[in-house]
Amino acid sequence: MVAQRPGPQALLACSALRSRAALLAQALLADAVGTTRQTITSIEVGRHTASLPFAHKIARYFGLAIEEVFDLSEIDEGM
């Protein structure tokens, strides 16, 4: 579910969203979107980039658009 190729990293602002969502733990988010806590951590710190379908799952979980969850400015600049 996670792309591990080099390129622009869309960093997940997930930790801030977890704080606003009643301190949702990484493990609970991971379980809700069908991945591991380690994957959520890797995406949050920029070691991995979420695939588009996986990014959509995370955004949908929070009831937000992908653009509200991920910083897409690096991708936009590369176009």
Percent of the chain with pLDDT over 70: 62
Q: What is the CATH number of the domain that holds 13?
A: 1.10.260.40
Whether residue 1 is contained in a domain is answered as no
For the CA atoms of 29, 34, 36, 9, the dihedral, rounded to the nearest 10 degrees, stands at: -80
- Provide block-wise average pLDDT over 10 residues at a time, the chain (79 residues): 46 62 73 92 88 93 91 67
User: In this predicted structure, what is the pLDDT of residue 5?
Assistant: 43
* Residues of the domain holding 73: 8-77
User: In this predicted structure, what is the pLDDT of residue 6?
Assistant: 31
Whether residue 16 is contained in a domain is answered as yes
